């Protein structure tokens, strides 16, 4: 292979590495736990959010049932939530809610949505919902209650 | 015409360029994962190419976002058709993701989410295996375990129902059908849930942590003290009655309570231990359990339970029964360390003369996960006296006696819904020869 061509390939490889690095950084981007804009709940601690997502706390202070929303397993934000809140991987998460339903401890597992856009739409529509979005996707239509990690 | 031809050429050039860039991008991504980084990124011609690639990357991301948005809209159209029916109860996997809402938020959607009509969530559990043993009179056998149909349904925002039907192989090779649980629950809030029906009593930890599905538990079988009645169990693990439970506002202590009242367990030979329809006496069983899940150490649970009942037999002799348990368990994704102790106190005697008899028991179980493998160890012990009025009288059911021994095994999770277990047991019993057993089990949830 000619030297200039080799250099060109190396340069392009470097570019590709940069692009991959950028995408990895996107995956590590801040994830915000968010609720409906009309929800008056104050900022929540990590422990409070963990209890809500694990089904240990099922209603808001006013008594309304909390609707917990999760993204599908292929979404990077879900990894942050599982790691930071559940301290579980996807298999453990599945088993946890299956067992929780089996014991009658939890009546239903979190609703799962395919994309962040769906999550946002659901959060805007449901006053009792709690979910999470990448920080860059958060706007004035929803309210942030916790920033992760 | 000229414009059309020009456009066609431009289009062809563009598609060729896309193909070239696409191929280059694929090559780069491959190389990028193995090639060392270069420091010559400031070379002008390559800088231009890098810019082009970055633009392409942005365009790809935009296109991906548009595709996702279109998928969301498409799914939104189909959402209205998916009401009721039978669903899985576990968190949905990627393939059975909840259909998304319309892009425009609506109040109707919230209403639909919270007030959708009842639907049944069905799950099934089962297990099969093979057991070899050097116990006298026991032939090595293939066997099927219990086929467990588990159903839940949310009737309203606060009412739900839970049902569990078992198809259990019996000692005479027949299959018995059993309504293991049927419980109507009202959840007022996290501090108060009321249930009525047939349920697993909250005696200790294991009974309500694992229930019937063999797939849930690490080991092949339950510890002696928590064996179900069709496996020689002696505790009132199933109850027909009413239960309340919930959290106790206690900050970081994480206290929870359970209080139950029910028919108790029948010990008459030949009768079903769970008194589904008719109690043998007017005295009801009471059970109270208190446990803590401290927030400063997720996975830790400590607690106790106290159960009391009067047992009446055909000779009309009443025996008081008091069952106390304590437990300290720690579980997380990798570790499982279960420790429980019990003391059963029976009053009266076989002859009717006054007397007090204590039956102690405990087990300790430890397991550690290494990827898909989870080796485990357990030691179980229970010791009921020979003159024990309930556990020592063959007219009142199987003799409990003394049983103790270690269990050693390995669980291998084939995937998220199936596991293979290999278990060795050595069991010593009062008045009988100790024996060894090796058992395999495939357990699954679907």
Q: How far is A91 from chain B (nearest CA, A)?
A: 6
Chain A residues with CB under 8 Å of B333 CB are: 87-89, 92
Residue B11 has a pLDDT of 45
B298:A87 CB<8 A: yes
Task: Count CB-CB contacts under 10 A for residue B191.
Answer: 14
Chain A residues with CB under 8 Å of B104 CB are: 121
In terms of Cα–Cα distance, which of B195, B160, B156, B200 is closest to B178? Answer: B200
Residue A94 has a pLDDT of 86
- Using pLDDT thresholds of 50, 70 and 90, give the confidence band for residue B398: confident
A121:B72 CB<8 A: yes
Query: Between chain A and chain B, how many beta carbons pairs sit less than 8 Å apart?
Result: 193
Residue B86 has a pLDDT of 46
- Using pLDDT thresholds of 50, 70 and 90, give the confidence band for residue B83: very low
Chain A residues with CB under 8 Å of B216 CB are: 95, 99, 102
Instruction: Reply yes or no on whether the pLDDT at A76 is more than 90.
Output: no
B315 or B234, higher pLDDT: B234
Chain A residues with CB under 8 Å of B114 CB are: 65, 67, 128
Q: How far is A23 from chain B (nearest CA, A)?
A: 10
Instruction: Reply yes or no on whether the pLDDT at B228 is more than 60.
Output: yes
- % residues pLDDT > 70 (chain B): 71
B91 or B124, higher pLDDT: B124
- Contact of A35 with chain B, judged by CB distance below 8 Å, is answered with no
A114:B72 CB<8 A: yes
B212 or B372, higher pLDDT: B372
Chain B residues with CB under 8 Å of A112 CB are: 91-92, 97-98
B123:A70 CB<8 A: no
Length of chain A: 149
In terms of Cα–Cα distance, which of B181, B147, B186 is closest to B163? Answer: B181
- Using pLDDT thresholds of 50, 70 and 90, give the confidence band for residue B416: confident
Residue B212 has a pLDDT of 83
Long-range contacts of A39-45 (CB under 8 A, 24+ apart): A39/A127, A39/A128, A39/A143, A41/A145, A42/A145, A43/A145, A43/A146, A44/A145, A44/A146, A45/A146
Chain A residues with CB under 8 Å of B123 CB are: 98, 101-102
Q: What is chain B's mean pLDDT, rounded?
A: 79
A138 vs B245: CA distance, rounded Å: 38
Among B75-89, B296-310, B352-366, B382-396, the minimum mean pLDDT is found in B75-89
B46:A94 CB<8 A: no
Q: How far is A20 from chain B (nearest CA, A)?
A: 8
Chain B residues with CB under 8 Å of A63 CB are: 189
Instruction: Reply yes or no on whether the pLDDT at B159 is more than 60.
Output: yes
Instruction: Reply yes or no on whether the pLDDT at B269 is more than 80.
Output: no
Q: Which of A96-105, B87-96, B259-268, B376-385 has the highest mean pLDDT?
A: B376-385
Residue B232 has a pLDDT of 80
Least CB-CB distance to B101: which of A19, A109, A122? A122
B101:A112 CB<8 A: no
Cβ–Cβ < 8 Å for B357, B388? yes
pTM of the model as a whole = 0.74
Annotate A61-121 with DSSP letters as a single string: TTSPBPEEEEE-TT-HHHHHHIIIII---HHHHHHHHHHHHHHTS-SSPPEEESSHHHHHH
Q: Mean pLDDT across the stretch B273-286?
A: 81
Q: Which structure tokens are listed for A105? A: 């401890």
Least CB-CB distance to A15: which of B53, B152, B187? B53
pLDDT digits (tens, 9 = 90+) for A16-68: 555 554 444 445 578 899 999 998 888 989 888 999 998 889 888 888 889 99
Long-range contacts of B176-185 (CB under 8 A, 24+ apart): B176/B230, B179/B276, B180/B148, B180/B211, B180/B212, B180/B238, B181/B211, B181/B238, B183/A104, B183/B243, B184/B159, B184/B160, B185/A104, B185/A107, B185/B159, B185/B160, B185/B161
Residue found under tokens 């299959």: B175
B75:A114 CB<8 A: yes
B373 or A2, higher pLDDT: B373
B28:A13 CB<8 A: yes
Task: Count CB-CB contacts under 10 A for residue B198.
Answer: 21
Residue B355 has a pLDDT of 84
Residue B72 has a pLDDT of 57
Instruction: Reply yes or no on whether the pLDDT at A4 is more than 90.
Output: no
- % residues pLDDT > 90 (chain B): 47
Which pairing describes strands B147-154 and B141-144: parallel, antiparallel, or unpaired?
unpaired
Cα-based angle B380, B413, B149 (whole degrees, multiple of 5): 80
Q: What is chain A's mean pLDDT, rounded?
A: 83
Residue B106 has a pLDDT of 46
Least CB-CB distance to A127: which of B104, B110, B160? B110
Least CB-CB distance to B185: which of A47, A104, A109? A104
- Contact of A72 with chain B, judged by CB distance below 8 Å, is answered with yes
Q: Mean pLDDT across the stretch B293-300?
A: 91
B407 vs B370: CA distance, rounded Å: 19
């Amino acid at each position: 292979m000619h030297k200039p061509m080799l250099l060109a390939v190396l340069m392009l490889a470097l570019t590709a590495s940069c692009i991959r690095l950028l995408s990895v950084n996107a995956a590590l981007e801040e994830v915000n736990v968010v609720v409906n804009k009309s929800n008056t709940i104050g900022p929540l601690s990590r422990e409070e959010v963990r209890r809500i997502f694990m089904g240990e706390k099922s209603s808001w202070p006013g008594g309304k049932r909390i609707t917990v929303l999760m993204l599908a397993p292929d979404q990077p934000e879900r990894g942050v939530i599982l790691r930071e809140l559940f301290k579980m991987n996807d298999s453990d998460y599945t088993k946890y809610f299956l067992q929780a339903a089996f014991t009658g401890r939890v009546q239903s597992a979190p609703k799962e949505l395919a994309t962040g856009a769906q999550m946002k739409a659901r959060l805007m529509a449901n006053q009792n919902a709690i979910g999470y979005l990448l920080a860059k996707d958060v706007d004035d239509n929803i309210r942030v209650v916790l920033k992760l990690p | 015409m000229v414009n059309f031809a020009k456009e066609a050429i431009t289009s062809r050039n563009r598609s060729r360029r896309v193909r070239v860039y696409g191929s280059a991008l694929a090559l780069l991504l491959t190389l990028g994962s193995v090639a060392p980084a270069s420091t010559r990124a400031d070379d002008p011609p390559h800088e231009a190419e890098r810019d082009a690639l970055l633009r392409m990357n942005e365009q790809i991301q935009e296109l991906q976002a548009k595709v996702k948005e279109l998928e969301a809209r498409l799914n939104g159209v189909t959402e209205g058709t998916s009401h009721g029916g039978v669903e899985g109860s576990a968190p949905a996997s990627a393939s059975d993701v909840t259909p998304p809402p319309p892009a425009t938020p609506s109040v109707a959607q919230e209403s639909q989410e919270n007030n959708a009509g009842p639907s049944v969530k069905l799950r099934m559990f089962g297990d099969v295996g093979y057991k070899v043993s050097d116990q006298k009179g026991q032939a090595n056998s293939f066997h099927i375990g219990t086929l467990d149909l588990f159903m839940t349904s949310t009737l309203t925002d606060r009412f739900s129902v839970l049902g569990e039907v078992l198809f259990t192989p019996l000692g005479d090779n027949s299959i018995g059908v059993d309504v293991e649980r049927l419980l109507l629950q009202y959840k007022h809030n996290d501090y108060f849930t009321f249930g009525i029906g047939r349920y697993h009593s909250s005696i200790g930890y294991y009974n309500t942590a694992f229930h019937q599905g063999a797939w849930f538990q690490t080991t092949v079988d339950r510890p002696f003290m928590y064996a179900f009645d069709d496996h020689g169990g002696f505790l009132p693990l199933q109850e027909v009655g009413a239960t309340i439970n919930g959290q106790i506002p206690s900050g970081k202590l994480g206290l929870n309570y359970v209080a139950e009242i029910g028919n108790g367990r029948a010990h008459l030979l030949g009768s079903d231990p769970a008194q589904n329809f008719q109690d043998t006496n007017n005295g009801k069983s009471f059970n109270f359990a208190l446990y803590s899940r401290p927030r400063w150490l997720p996975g830790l649970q400590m607690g106790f339970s106290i159960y009391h009942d009067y047992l009446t037999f055909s000779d009309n002799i009443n025996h008081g029964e008091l069952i106390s348990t304590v437990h300290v368990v720690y579980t997380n994704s990798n570790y499982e360390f279960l420790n429980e102790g019990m003391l059963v106190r029976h009053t009266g005697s076989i002859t009717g003369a006054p007397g007090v008899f204590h039956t102690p028991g405990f087990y300790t179980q430890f397991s550690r996960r290494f990827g898909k493998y989870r080796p485990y160890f357990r030691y179980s012990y229970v010791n009921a006296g020979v003159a024990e009025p309930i556990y020592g009288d063959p007219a009142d059911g199987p003799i409990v006696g003394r049983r103790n021994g270690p269990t050693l095994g390995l669980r291998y999770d084939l995937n998220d819904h199936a596991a293979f277990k290999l278990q060795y047991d050595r069991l010593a019993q009062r008045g009988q020869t100790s024996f060894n057993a090796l058992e395999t089990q495939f357990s699954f949830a679907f």
